Structure 1
Amino acid sequence: MSANTVNPDHCLFAVPKKGRLYEKVTAMLKGAGVEYHREPRLDIAICKDLPMTMVFLPASDISKYVGEGNVDIGVTGIDIVEENCSEVERVMDLGFGACRLCVQAPVASQITDVKDLAGKRIVTSFPTLTKKFFDPIDAEKGVTTSIRFVSGSVEAACGLGLADAVVDLVETGTTMKAAGLEVVGTVLQTESILITNPDSKHKKIVELLKHRIEGYITSKKFVMVSYNCSADILDAVSSITPGKRSPTITALTDGGHAVSSLVSKKEIVRVMDDLHAAGARDILVFELSNSRM
């Protein structure tokens, strides 16, 4: 299959072609019911149940293709959209890929104020954002910071004597610390987002995908808790499990009530303890595979 075989009536969805972001996005799409088969070494795949073609591209290029209208929708980071100055519509935040774009200097330099780096040498894969960050500082101090672009191994620049500091993404900080660097300033908070071209003719598919992905994200964040309680403690236990909107309450023949409610996965153990302490019984927790709210 080649680009020439793409159905011109299909919505084009750009997916990062490799790496951790690729794995996260493909898992999300599978959970959202977007089915396709990608042949080895091919960067195009036809969706099975939607008039949509998946196009696998470098994450750093996706916002350009979406902004220019070459593809209709895609997943990339806020940092990429801002770096490329792409005119796209931000459909939704996806809840993964969160990290910071930071100014990092060698620990040995003992630099704690980012203003002390104005006029010095900075190496980065994000020259546009870096220049935007340093421009007001340069104007204040009457200097010009040298910003040099490199496409990879940014953290090695200081150790090789190529830079006084770097601007790079920080997730856990492990790579930064291994290179003897520390954060002295934050340029941007970023995460993965779903974007679309504002003039796309496939608005209905974009909206459908948004609902499907929202349903999947909800299913990953929440579980359903179900329990029984007597009438006299109904108000108390319902306040423990208010749900996303409100709990579902069903009257039982013995005068009690059965209650079901969505609870954050992070809180479920504590919620079960609180329910039991309040007098609820037959407490069960169910995993969700998908949802629509």
Structure 2
Amino acid sequence: MRIAVPNKGRLHQPTIDLLERAGLHLENGADRKLYAETVDPEVTVLFARAADIPEYIADGAADMGITGLDQVRESGQAEVISELLDLGFGRCRLVLAAPREGEIEAVSDLAGRTVATEFPRITREFFADTDVSPDVVEVSGATELTPHVEMADAIVDITSTGTTLRVNNLAIIEEVLSSSVRLFAREDVVDEPKVGELRTALSSVLAADGKRYLMMNVPEDRLEAVRDVIPGLGGPTIMDVANGGDKVAVHAVVDERDVFETITEVKAAGASDILVTEIERLIE
């Protein structure tokens, strides 16, 4: 099973970190290499440009891939590869923007005008759903400058915080696409056991983010009071304590943001020996 991942840029390290946290450790490193073996002899990691990964999957060079939804949509391969999991990082938006206080204030104002973008396919698909047909011009880099040098009347470009648009005196007219990094697979391998294993491994890491594992001892006569204040996933687990007398062990998974309040409340309810630990993976 070959999985293609970004070889550089802002998506590279978060992707490698996620694979490592999921237990898919790379055997021969990830720096300046075309591929790497993993601790699973059936899985090889291929390194490619994020924009090329959809083609790798569609053409069979890779069975799975990790890249942005925007890259898949722009590649035109969205119909032949399947999205398996939103990995939750690399979030951004493709937006239609134009100079502030200019003539372009709505999509309809672009009739007969020019739109510059690095994403011509997505842009044309966006305008195909409207009654407006501007001239879409593909550019590579510095898209936000094109309206100021009279190359275009508006742009479709990626933004995460909107800072670059504001610096270049551009205002968002409409959102074209909301994107994040996803796990994809070729349709003919989606049901393969190894694909399911990799999906489960990655989703278990995502499920553990922001969660903490609480363990405590509780007198049996205070159990209901403690149970009532634990915001666990499906309720706490209750176990006997060896030589614990009238105490039982209570284990629960809670959101990290609830830990401080929960500890205060369970202690007040009679719990003792409270332990909080991080969770590496959580399979729900």
Give the 3 Å change call, closer, same or farther, for CA 153–238 of structure 1 in structure 2.
Answer: farther
**8 Å CA contact retained: 2:82, 2:190:** no
Give the 3 Å change call, closer, same or farther, for CA 110–273 of structure 1 in structure 2.
Answer: farther
Gaps of 5+ in 2: none
Q: Which moved more, 1:200-209 or 1:83-92?
A: 200-209
Question: Aligned equivalents of 1:174 and 1:201: distance in 2?
Answer: 39
Partner of 2:90: 97
The Cα of 1:280 is off from its aligned counterpart by: 4.1
Identity of aligned residues (%): 33
The Cα of 1:23 is off from its aligned counterpart by: 0.7
**8 Å CA contact retained: 2:104, 2:153:** no
Partner of 1:150: 139
Gaps of 5+ in 1: 1-10
Give the 3 Å change call, closer, same or farther, for CA 92–239 of structure 1 in structure 2.
Answer: farther
Q: 1:136 aligns with which of 122, 129, 132?
A: 129
Q: 2:152 aligns with which of 157, 163, 167?
A: 163
**8 Å CA contact retained: 1:72, 1:202:** no
Partner of 1:212: 201
Give the 3 Å change call, closer, same or farther, for CA 202–72 of structure 1 in structure 2.
Answer: farther
The Cα of 1:278 is off from its aligned counterpart by: 4.9
Question: Aligned equivalents of 1:48 and 1:202: distance in 2?
Answer: 22
- Are positions 1:120 and 2:109 aligned together? no
Q: 1:262 aligns with which of 250, 253, 263?
A: 253
AA at the equivalent of 1:157: T
- Are positions 1:27 and 2:17 aligned together? yes
Question: Aligned equivalents of 2:234 and 2:203: distance in 1?
Answer: 16
**8 Å CA contact retained: 2:235, 2:252:** yes
AA at the equivalent of 1:127: P
The Cα of 1:80 is off from its aligned counterpart by: 1.5
- Aligned-residue CA RMSD (Å): 2.5
Question: Aligned equivalents of 1:195 and 1:50: distance in 2?
Answer: 21
Where does structure 1 differ by over 6 angstroms across 4 or more consecutive aligned residues? Answer: none
The Cα of 1:266 is off from its aligned counterpart by: 3.6
Aligned residues: 279
The Cα of 1:26 is off from its aligned counterpart by: 0.3
- Are positions 1:52 and 2:43 aligned together? yes
AA at the equivalent of 1:268: V
Aligned ranges 1:1-293 → 2 under 5 Å: 11-36=1-26, 37-38=28-29, 40-86=31-77, 87-109=80-102, 111-137=104-130, 139=131, 143-200=132-189, 203-231=192-220, 233-251=222-240, 253-276=244-267, 278=269, 280-293=271-284
AA at the equivalent of 2:212: V
